[in-house]
Structure 1
Amino acid sequence: MQVSTKSSGTPPGRLAVLDLARGAAVVAMAIYHFSWDLYWFAFVDWPVAQGTGWRAFAVTIAGSFLFLAGVSLDLAHHTGIRWQSFWRRFAVIAAAAATVSLVTFFTFGENFVRFGILHCIAASSLISLPFLRSPFWTSGAAALFLLTLPLWASSAAFDGAPWLWTGLGTPGFGSVDYVPIAPWAGIALAGLSLSKVFRKLQIWQRLSVLSFSGRAGGLTRLMGRHSLSIYLLHQPILYGLVWAAAMVSPEVDRAASAFVGNCSAACSQTLGEPDLCVAACSCTLDHLKSDGTWTMLVVEPDDQSLRERMNEHYKLCLADPDRRPPVIE
């Protein structure tokens, strides 16, 4: 990648270095989601949901988007809140978040995205409003408050769906993407605070001369400028391609492996106990096979009565992962 101080097509008012950082996050996101899709359909046995390295990779990607969202808020509104621009951006992100929830509901059923990365970015924008024109230390203090909130404010009082957005309880169900306000919105506030410091030290001014010209830099910056559109489109495309590959040579064994992997991934995302989740999901599969539900479920995965039976087995297995199906003689 060539770093240049000459103009290379970056629109006026934009920082090439931020577009580059956002574009790099988009590339990392696509890599992670493609790996997830391969794992979801049991093409690979990589521990995408449970592995420490993979979880760190996912956290880094989500954190980078939130951090850059905070930086962008500061750069866009530090001279005065541009209300029309702010609310237009908020409406677009909120609508995109609602679209993700709707699409994943029909794709993943009960594991749909209730409060994911886009929901958190929209909420973080509102939370950041009082700090847009305040000194950097106020947003820094707010960031520290939210980042540490789960360590000292978590409570069973926040368990269940109505409070899942807080991040202070246990939702009690799985989700393919779960990014609650605490601690994640604290990362956006940290980006807002650091951007204020950078402006004060004139670091942004010095970085503004960099253009990152060249094919790789230009393409990465282009993706950064259109990160939301790419976010909304890339996963349906990747998921569809992997799904199509799975349909070409469907295998019952692959379906069973995929079920345990997908179930464990969604469970771990919410409960944060991979070993328990794998045991509970394996137990669920055993019971589904024992009572004959599994064969019917593979043929009719959207049958509501079969899914309810599956959910009942899952709840019992989650409470007792060592529960064994009855022996039929």
Structure 2
Amino acid sequence: MPAVKPCRAFELDALRGLALLLMVLHHLIFDLRYVFGLPVFAFQETRWFIYFLQPLFLNVFLVVSGICCTFSRSNTRRGLRLLLVSMALTAVSYLVSTLTGQAFYIYFNVLHLLALGILLYAWLTRAERRRNRSQARADLLLLLAIAVVLGAAWLLPFFAEHGSWWLLPLGLPPKLDYAMADYLPLVPWLGFFLVGTLIGRRVYQDRCSAFPGAPAWLRAVSSPFALLGRHSLIIYVLHQPLMLALLYGLQALGLL
């Protein structure tokens, strides 16, 4: 395993890796209960899981992704590449749903959201440089955007009847007779990504760890999660098809 740069923000890698691991585990228990129909993991239907635990690790992942976005000097390229990956994921999910007869349709999930969030931040920083705006003014724009996105969540229920495919990314999908997989609209979730960019601009201006004096034991304990965090995209893209292939294989062998 290559050595980690001393300046690297290991805490961000570790937090993102931990959140990613929790998302993977969530998909596993979801598949076992709702795809394969096993009478297990019923706690997914409890209020504490739906309204606290699941949003918690999603928010951690989004905030850390927003912070890491401020480290990059090529966000436009990163955002466009991620947008292509997310579109390919949508196409593959449509193909799998057609072949299996099950609703695995992914129209707008965390990858779509991150792609648009990264592109939005790239536009903001480019405008900041071109117009020679101070960081304080740019941060004020970020605060305004955060307030608008999070505040809009309170208005969504009043417009639910006007959902359409065009408004699906904003949190107003059309009425469907099936559930979308991993649906994560811009409202309110983009707000948490933008919170991360604001934290990154203020706390991680030198693009280094905020805890340079962290003890060796803490770095050692967090290193497995940090490894996951450094490869989060490839893990997120591949984990679900690999898990489903494994579970279908176990089912075919009569082991599930």
Same fold, TM-score > 0.5, yes or no: yes
Q: 1:206 to 1:12 in 2, by over 3 A?
A: closer
**Secondary structure at 1:213's aligned position in 2?**
helix
Q: 1:170 to 1:91 in 2, by over 3 A?
A: closer
User: Which structure 1 residue ranges, 5 or more long, are not aligned?
Assistant: 1-7, 77-81, 252-329
Residue in 1 that maps onto 2:230: 225
Pairs within 5 Å for 1:144-223: 144-152=147-155, 154-156=158-160, 158-167=162-171, 169-173=172-176, 174-199=179-204, 206-210=210-214, 212-214=218-220, 216-223=221-228
- Among 115, 120, 130, the alignment partner of 2:113 is 120
| Between 223-232 and 108-117, the greater mean CA deviation after superposition | 108-117
Say whether residues 1:71 and 2:67 are aligned partners: yes
Distance 1:91 1:130 in 2: 12
Q: Is the 8 A contact 2:63 2:194 kept in 1?
A: yes
**Secondary structure at 2:88's aligned position in 1?**
helix
| Structure 1 position 156, deviation (Å) | 4.7
Residue in 1 that maps onto 2:131: none
- Among 124, 140, 145, the alignment partner of 1:137 is 140
Q: Is the 8 A contact 1:67 1:187 kept in 2?
A: yes
Distance 1:145 1:121 in 2: 18
Q: Could you give the per-residue CA deviations for residues 231-270 of structure 1, whole angstroms, max 9, x where no partner exists? A: 112111212222222223399xxxxxxxxxxxxxxxxxxx
Q: Could you give the per-residue CA deviations for residues 6-51 of structure 1, whole angstroms, max 9, x where no partner exists? A: xx93236531111111111121112111111111212233336533
**Secondary structure at 1:92's aligned position in 2?**
helix
Q: 1:247 to 1:48 in 2, by over 3 A?
A: farther
Q: Is the 8 A contact 1:111 1:175 kept in 2?
A: yes
TM-score by length of 2: 0.79
Say whether residues 1:104 and 2:89 are aligned partners: no
**Secondary structure at 1:151's aligned position in 2?**
coil
Q: Is the 8 A contact 2:170 2:186 kept in 1?
A: yes
Which structure has the bigger radius of gyration?
1
Distance 1:182 1:137 in 2: 20
